[in-house]
Amino acid sequence: MTYRLGVDVGGTFTDLVLYNVETNEMEMTKTPSTPANQAEGVRTGIQILIERLGVPASEIDFFIHGTTVATNTLLERKGATTALVVTEGFRDVLQVGRQDRPDLYDWRIPRTEPLVPRHLRFEVGERMLFTGEVHRPLDLNDVDSVLEKLREAQIEAVAVCLLHSYANPEHEIAIGKALRKGLPNVSVSLSHEILPEFKEYERMSTTVINAYVSPVIGRYIGNLTASIVDAGINSDLYIMQSNGGTMRASSAVERPVNTILSGPAAGVIGSVAIAKLAGQPNAISVDMGGTSFDVTLSYQGEVRQTQESEIERLPIKVPMVDIHTLGAGGGSIAWIDPGGALRVGPQSAGADPGPACYGRGGTEATVTDANLVLGRLNPKRFLGGRMDLDVSLARAAVEERVAKPLGLGVEESAEGIIRVVNASMIKGIRVVSVAKGYDPRDFCLVAFGGAGPVHSSELANEMDIPRVLVPIAPGVTSALGLLMADLRHDFVRTVLRAGADLTHDELGARFGDMETEAIERMSQEGVEADDVTLIRLADIRYAGQGYEIEVPVPSGQLGAGEMKLIVERFHEAHRQMYGYATLDRPIEAVNLRITALTTLPRPELVPAELDGREDPESAKEGERQVYFHGKSVSTPIYHRPLLRPGDLVHGPAIIEQEDSTTVVWDGQISTVDAYSNLIVERTA
């Protein structure tokens, strides 16, 4: 037998799914993350799975990993000491940026500090025109001088971003060779390799971020690879990308900027696939773990993608799933601000020490502590009973940190914590839906992550979302999503040509060159050319516009008919996005894109026969007091593994399982569908 393993490391828990390719069976588990060395938590989880199934580690022949290491490195500013080499006269592009203010009406807000301080930014004499023509040859004496200064600064990584190198990388290549020869132990990132696309500030920021996190990712992947070898697993290491595809670990070390949203992207892939099977193509996916709350919208089964995003106001211009992230997880800390108002997050207790109820020395009141005080979590069934929660510690933390300062009761304070964190999550859901022209009432709320199902039914009530879907294993949906992803690489080239000047022969030749590069990259991943699917896209805009729209381009030979079709697609896309199209206005082709895909074996979720019993009594395990709307209510408790397709659970009710807990409110009913998902809907 052969097995495929998906491992998602979060801020609080590490989730694992082991899939048997021959029998289409899966086994899942969660284990606390180990921030000091995340490979330790991964090793512990693997050991739990192989012992539970009696599977030799050598039978695991595919290992894919979703990680937040790059994200956390960037957020916490714990990356490498990084230098930047630029064209003479452009030393301060990283500081100046787009000359906009973080808040238009607040001049006191400071800008985000660049990752590279000014004394580590170095200039070299050279100048390339946007046409690719050399205006000023590269001054090799400047290169030697910079090399000496870099040695003195004892930097760990260096980014090189020269003006218009996307059009002609000759000078960057020369500098890269000199740096790699003169500083063999230093990570070097060249902008034409990371992002061969125009817009100097965004290209420079993305290249710097790549350099900044590269040594950290390299060490992490090295440690994890060693752990895989020690465990006896017979597989290369694959890493989830921010775009929802996978790549080999060697590619991730070269381009770690592509892993910034590695973990959250996996959850989106898994949740959207599950929602489509359940007949819910319009889905708002909410992933609430121990540290963060990630929300994404998919319309008609298509996951929204973006070519540009920001983390801590630092631009990142790489393809990624369009995810909005908040510091609102189960470990988010409740605190009182100077004005006496209750706040929750973004600070998190993380995995160590974790919420107060973990009994590991934590004293702060967290969302998990509040849910435990309210009776919504079972202190004896957390992680399937492998980890006990201490109610007395949770009550003490809520009382000391929130109840006493506000002059409230412990339960009242706990409900206040939940209301505050829910308000933050509702705001996040509105950002991806209402703010972008979508009505949440037309969507299904797909809740996953260990804490997602605890809050989702209440969120749906607040936003009039008619339906909540809780997957069969919500706590490990991100790990499951890893096993549903394709092997993928994205390529981009800037053309900046007026539509009237770009012939079909030239366009076909440019795409042909990119497709050759894509096939070569996929062959490095061990994929045959016949197994690669190539998707063509073009970024197009009206002449004079500052932003462009991504338009599909026909594959194969291009002629006059295909060129006309591309223009028509652009006008239609512009009309859909902005409400109008100007058919007689000239257009510009800005960037050409290629996406290379290869489908990997993935778990097949098979529907069960509905037996029509609609009676969950065999899954009922008694009752306990749970707080709803300020009142303690005797609430039935159900063990989810004993529920069968067709069963109906009327609220209020608590449905427990190893990796999560689902809260069903009064006025709601939960149905187990053919795929064993919980579908929670209002009864009136």
Name the DSSP letter for residue 132. Answer: S
* Cβ neighbourhood burial of 433 (10 Å; 0-12, 13-18, 19+): buried
Share of the chain above pLDDT 90, in %: 63
What pLDDT shows up at residue 53? 86
Name the DSSP letter for residue 400. Answer: I
Q: What are phi and psi of 66, to 5 degrees?
A: -110, 130
pLDDT winner (highest mean) among 66-70, 81-85, 298-302: 81-85
pLDDT of 36 > 80? The answer is no
Determine how β-strand 342-348 pairs with β-strand 332-336.
antiparallel
Determine which of 24-38, 107-121, 370-384, 532-546 has the lowest per-residue pLDDT on average: 24-38
What are 336's two structure tokens? 């009182």
What pLDDT shows up at residue 613? 64
What are 196's two structure tokens? 């061969």
Asked if residue 172 lies in contact with residue 162, where contact means CB atoms within 8 angstroms, the answer is yes
Decide if 3-74+218-259 and 262-313+322-329+421-481 have a common fold: yes
Longest Cα separation, the chain: 82
CATH topology classification for 77-214: Dna Topoisomerase Vi A Subunit; Chain: A, domain 2 (3.40.1360)
Asked if residue 677 lies in contact with residue 611, where contact means CB atoms within 8 angstroms, the answer is no
**CA 426 vs CA 326, 464, 597, 648, 670: distances in Å:** 11, 11, 35, 27, 22
**CA 1 vs CA 27, 203, 250, 479, 590: distances in Å:** 15, 46, 27, 21, 49
Report the C-alpha gap between 175 and 85 in whole angstroms: 9
CATH superfamily, region 3-74+218-259: ATPase, nucleotide binding domain (3.30.420.40)
Asked if residue 217 lies in contact with residue 331, where contact means CB atoms within 8 angstroms, the answer is no
| Model pTM score | 0.84
Determine how β-strand 653-656 pairs with β-strand 631-639.
parallel
Asked if residue 292 lies in contact with residue 328, where contact means CB atoms within 8 angstroms, the answer is yes
Asked if residue 575 lies in contact with residue 542, where contact means CB atoms within 8 angstroms, the answer is no
Asked if residue 447 lies in contact with residue 456, where contact means CB atoms within 8 angstroms, the answer is yes
How many other C-beta atoms can be found within 10 angstroms of the C-beta atom of residue 633?
A: 14
What pLDDT shows up at residue 90? 95
Q: To 5 degrees, how large is the angle CA 200–CA 201–CA 205?
A: 120
Q: What is the dihedral of CA 255, 258, 262, 267, to 10 degrees?
A: -150
- Residue 411, C-beta contacts closer than 8 angstroms, at least 6 positions apart: 373, 374, 627, 630, 632
- Residue 289, C-beta contacts closer than 8 angstroms, at least 6 positions apart: 10, 11, 12, 13, 329, 330, 449, 450, 451
Asked if residue 598 lies in contact with residue 522, where contact means CB atoms within 8 angstroms, the answer is yes
pLDDT band at 336 (very low <50, low <70, confident <90, very high): very high
Tell me which CATH code domain 262-313+322-329+421-481 carries.
3.30.420.40
pLDDT of 612 > 70? The answer is no
**Which residue type sits at 590?**
V
- Residue 183, C-beta contacts closer than 8 angstroms, at least 6 positions apart: 147, 150, 151, 158
- Residue 671, C-beta contacts closer than 8 angstroms, at least 6 positions apart: 646, 647, 648, 649, 678, 679, 681
* Cβ neighbourhood burial of 55 (10 Å; 0-12, 13-18, 19+): middle
Asked if residue 216 lies in contact with residue 79, where contact means CB atoms within 8 angstroms, the answer is yes
Summarised one tens digit per residue, pLDDT across range 514-566 is 999 999 999 988 899 999 999 999 999 999 898 899 999 999 899 999 999 99
How large is the average pLDDT for residues 619-631? 93
- Residue 457, C-beta contacts closer than 8 angstroms, at least 6 positions apart: 468, 651, 662, 663, 664, 665, 668, 680
pLDDT of 190 > 80? The answer is yes
**Which residue type sits at 636?**
P
What are 651's two structure tokens? 């609220």
Share of the chain above pLDDT 70, in %: 99
pLDDT band at 611 (very low <50, low <70, confident <90, very high): low
Tell me which CATH code domain 487-598 carries.
3.30.1490
What pLDDT shows up at residue 329? 87
Q: 551: phi > 0 → left, psi -120 to 50 → alpha, else beta; which?
A: beta
Average pLDDT, the chain: 91
Which H or E element spans position 538? Answer: strand 533-542
What are 635's two structure tokens? 């609430």
State the DSSP string of 206-260: HHHHHHHHHHHHHHHHHHHHHHHHHHT----EEEE-TTS-EEEHHHHHH-GGGGT
What pLDDT shows up at residue 579? 87
pLDDT band at 107 (very low <50, low <70, confident <90, very high): confident
Q: Where are the domains of the chain?
A: 3-74+218-259, 77-214, 262-313+322-329+421-481, 487-598, 617-682
Name the DSSP letter for residue 324. Answer: E
pLDDT of 121 > 60? The answer is yes
Asked if residue 215 lies in contact with residue 187, where contact means CB atoms within 8 angstroms, the answer is yes
How large is the average pLDDT for residues 205-229? 92
Asked if residue 655 lies in contact with residue 670, where contact means CB atoms within 8 angstroms, the answer is yes
Report the C-alpha gap between 64 and 247 in whole angstroms: 9
Determine which of 344-353, 378-387, 463-472 has the lowest per-residue pLDDT on average: 378-387
What pLDDT shows up at residue 148? 95
pLDDT of 1 > 60? The answer is no
- Residue 16, C-beta contacts closer than 8 angstroms, at least 6 positions apart: 5, 6, 7, 8, 28, 29, 30, 31, 42, 45, 46, 48, 49, 476, 479
- Residue 185, C-beta contacts closer than 8 angstroms, at least 6 positions apart: none
Report the C-alpha gap between 83 and 413 in whole angstroms: 48
Sign of the CA dihedral 220, 221, 225, 228?
positive
State the DSSP string of 294-319: EEEEEETTEEPEES-EEETTEEE-S-
Report the C-alpha gap between 439 and 436 in whole angstroms: 9
How large is the average pLDDT for residues 311-333? 87
Asked if residue 290 lies in contact with residue 346, where contact means CB atoms within 8 angstroms, the answer is no
E strand map for 312-353: 314-316, 320-321, 324-326, 332-336, 342-348
pLDDT band at 298 (very low <50, low <70, confident <90, very high): very high
**CA 295 vs CA 53, 276, 287, 630: distances in Å:** 34, 17, 6, 28
What are 7's two structure tokens? 């491992």
